[in-house]
C-alpha cells in the first residue's frame, strides 16, 4: 500500500512498505520511467530542482535509499547489491518493468550495480559524479572508515552543535547571503547524521564501498558490458570528492558513452547547474533508443570478454 507522507516544495513524499520496511520516495509525471538515485548521506531531496522539469515528460521516481531520508534505517546490508535490489523491488511494487536510471555519487554505484544485476530492466544509464569508477575519494570519507569513527562522529553531530550551526546559517541569511547549492547539500548531509540510526546506516554504507585507501568497489572491469546500453556521464570539473578524471577514464572504457564536464562545478552538477543538467539529460534521451537485453546477449558478452583478453595477452 502506498501512502502520502508530506509535502516538500510542491512534491509529495510518499512511502511504501516492502519486505516489512518503509521506503520513502517522490513520484511525479507520466511517460517512460526515470529513476533518480542520490548520494551517501543525502536523500531524494537532492533532485528537487530538476525532478519537476523531468516530470513533464517522464514518470520520475526518486527514492530515499535504505538508511537515508525517510526510508528505514536498519542494522542490515548496505552493499551496492542490496541497494540495487531494493530499487528493483520498488519498481516492481510500483508496477514498472523498465527505467532509465540516473545515479549521483553513491547512487551512481547503485545504478551500475542495478545495470549489472538487472540488465533486462535498464533502458539507459546516467552517472553523475559517480562512485565506483576509480580509487580516489575525499580524504574525509576515507578517515570516517577508520575504527572508532562510530564513537567520534556523534561528537561532531550533537544537536547543540547542529542548532548553533543552524543559527549561524540563519544569521548569514538575514544579511542576504545565500549558501551555494553545494553547501546546502553538505549541510543537509550533516543534519542527516543527527540520529544514532542515521549515523549507523551512514557508516555501514560508507564502509561497504570505501576504506582508508579509498574506494574499494570498482566497476572498471565490467564497463565493457555497457556497450549495448546508452550511457551518459556528467561531472563537475572541480569535483573534490570524486575527481573528474574518473569520468574521463570511464568514458574511454565505455563504448558509445557520452561525457559532459561542467567547468566551475563541484560534486553536485544537478544542483549547481540544474538548467544545463536537464537540457543535457533530455538531449541524451532524445538521441538514444532504450536498451533491450535478452539473456543470450548478456551471456555472449560476458563470455566474449575473457577470450579477447586472452588473445591480447598472446599477442603481447
Of the residues 43, 239, 246, 257, which is catalytic? Answer: 239
Beta strand 210-211 pairing with 258-262: unpaired
Out of 83, 104, 251, 267, pick the active-site residue.
Answer: 267
CB contact at 8 A, 285 and 100: yes
> Which cell is 2 given?
502506498
Which long-range CB contacts under 8 A does 78-81 form with residues at least 24 apart?
A: 78/201, 78/204, 78/205, 78/208, 79/208, 80/109, 80/110, 80/112, 80/113, 80/132, 80/208, 80/209, 80/217, 81/113, 81/117
Please indicate whether residue 267 is annotated as part of the active site.
Answer: yes
State how far the alpha carbon of 92 is from the alpha carbons of 96, 144, 242, in Å: 6, 35, 32
User: CA–CA separation, 95 vs 181, rounded Å?
Assistant: 34
From the list 105, 192, 218, 257, the catalytic residue is: 105
The shares of helix, strand and coil residues in the chain, as percent rounded to the nearest 5, are: 50, 20, 30
Based on the residue annotation, tell me whether 204 is a catalytic residue of this protein: no
Active site residues: 105, 239, 267
Amino acid at each position: 500500500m502506498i501512502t502520502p507522507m508530506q509535502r516538500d516544495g510542491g512534491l509529495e513524499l510518499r512511502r511504501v512498505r516492502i519486505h516489512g520496511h518503509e521506503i520513502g520516495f517522490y513520484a511525479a509525471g507520466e511517460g517512460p520511467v526515470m529513476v533518480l538515485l542520490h548520494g551517501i548521506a543525502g536523500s531524494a531531496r537532492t533532485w528537487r530542482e530538476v525532478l519537476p522539469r523531468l516530470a513533464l515528460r517522464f514518470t520520475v521516481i526518486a527514492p530515499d535509499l535504505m538508511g537515508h531520508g525517510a526510508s528505514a534505517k536498519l542494522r542490515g546490508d548496505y552493499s551496492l547489491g542490496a541497494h540495487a535490489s531494493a530499487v528493483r523491488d520498488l519498481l516492481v511494487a510500483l508496477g514498472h518493468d523498465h527505467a532509465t536510471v540516473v545515479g549521483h555519487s553513491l547512487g551512481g554505484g547503485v545504478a551500475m550495480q542495478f545495470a549489472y544485476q538487472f540488465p533486462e530492466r535498464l533502458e539507459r544509464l546516467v552517472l553523475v559524479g559517480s562512485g565506483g569508477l576509480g580509487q580516489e575519494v575525499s580524504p574525509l570519507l576515507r578517515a570516517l572508515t577508520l575504527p572508532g569513527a562510530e564513537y567520534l562522529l556523534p561528537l561532531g553531530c550533537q544537536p547543540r552543535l547542529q542548532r548553533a550551526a543552524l543559527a549561524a546559517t540563519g544569521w548569514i541569511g538575514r544579511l542576504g547571503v545565500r549558501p551555494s547549492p553545494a553547501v546546502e547539500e553538505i549541510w543537509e548531509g550533516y543534519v542527516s547524521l543527527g540520529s544514532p540510526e542515521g549515523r549507523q546506516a551512514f557508516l555501514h554504507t560508507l564502509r561497504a564501498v570505501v576504506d582508508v585507501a579509498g574506494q574499494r568497489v570498482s566497476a572498471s572491469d565490467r564497463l565493457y558490458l555497457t556497450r549495448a546500453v546508452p550511457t551518459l556521464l556528467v561531472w563537475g570539473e572541480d569535483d573534490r570528492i570524486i575527481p573528474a578524471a574518473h569520468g574521463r577514464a570511464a568514458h574511454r572504457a565505455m563504448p558509445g558513452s557520452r561525457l559532459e564536464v561542467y567547468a566551475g562545478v563541484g560534486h553536485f552538477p544537478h544542483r549547481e547547474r540544474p538548467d544545463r543538467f536537464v537540457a543535457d539529460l533530455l538531449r541524451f534521451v532524445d538521441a538514444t533508443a532504450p536498451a533491450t537485453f535478452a539473456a543470450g546477449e548478456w551471456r555472449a558478452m560476458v563470455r566474449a570478454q575473457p577470450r579477447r583478453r586472452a588473445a591480447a595477452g598472446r599477442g603481447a
